[in-house]
Structure 1
Amino acid sequence: MSKKKPTLRTFLDAGVPDSVGRKLEEFGHTVIYHRNALPERTPDDVVCITAMENDAILVAIDGDMKQLAKRYGVTPKGDKFDKLSIIRLCCNEVLAAKRLEQALPLIEVEWEYATVKTARRMWIDIFPHAIQTNR
């Protein structure tokens, strides 16, 4: 008897290609596209809050979000982004969907781990030749 895999609820930032969303949907995950929820050029902190309010994992690819992630990467207790789960695609748009597909088994395991404790969040960086989890 196999264990049922988790269903991820994701929020794709504006710069993330649709191919990433389609890949997530192909594997049974829920995708909220930025354009269906927020106007263009929405500030990154609003994007993060929107992801959290929708109980979604933020999927980001752009440089601005990397700066926001750097600022809030290690968040003190009580910080407004301390519960933000994020998948950062640290590769170009052409590689993004394929690298995400390759990382999905790890992402699903990490999500299960992160949901065991309420104080946990998931943070994964996907590079062209590496995948990094931050616990």
Structure 2
Amino acid sequence: MTTAASKPRVLTDESVPASVGKMLQHHGYDVKKVGEIVPAGSADPVVCQAAVQAGRILIAVDKDMRQHAKDRGPRPGRFPNLHLIFLSCRETESADRVEAALSFIEHEHELAIAAGTRMWVDIGTSSMRTHR
């Protein structure tokens, strides 16, 4: 079981509902919003790089963020070390879906850290999946 001290640190993108961050904080997660780490309105690559440098999982709903994580390997402009939770569920159910996935997210993060790879979890309305 993940302790509060070992829970992953999280960065929520600007379009992620505030309820997601509040729920994660309620569960003991260290949550920062984009405006707290980089200026609000920063370009997606700047946000991705900030998440990597800060050692935080990026939570996003923006399909462009998904594209940044999609390409593998050390290509210019791509982020092979970006840990990403992509929310493809309805905004109104985002916090509940993430809460239901917490043990899954923690497990995937532990596996990624142990293997030296990235974590990428998609949370949809009726499914949750990982990309390894």
Normalized against structure 1, the TM-score is what?
0.87
How far apart are 1:92 and its partner, in Å? 2.1
% identical equivalent positions: 35
Residue equivalent to 1:62? 62
Q: Which amino acid aligns with 1:12?
A: T
Residue equivalent to 1:92? 90
Residue equivalent to 1:25? 25
* Structure 1 spans left out of the alignment, 5+ residues: none
Provide the rounded CA distance (Å) in 2 between the counterparts of 1:49 and 1:86. Answer: 12
**What SS class does the counterpart of residue 99 from structure 2 fall into?**
helix
How far apart are 1:30 and its partner, in Å? 0.8
1:23-56 residue CA offsets vs partner (Å, 9 max, x unmatched): 1111111111112222232110000000001000
Residue equivalent to 1:134? 131
Selected match of 2:120 from 101, 113, 123: 123
Q: Which amino acid aligns with 1:102?
A: A
How far apart are 1:57 and its partner, in Å? 0.5
Residue equivalent to 1:12? 12
Q: CA RMSD in A?
A: 1.5
Residue equivalent to 1:53? 53
**What SS class does the counterpart of residue 46 from structure 1 fall into?**
helix
Normalized against structure 2, the TM-score is what?
0.89
Provide the rounded CA distance (Å) in 2 between the counterparts of 1:40 and 1:111. Answer: 26
Q: Does 1:108 pair with 2:101? A: no
How far apart are 1:4 and its partner, in Å? 4.1
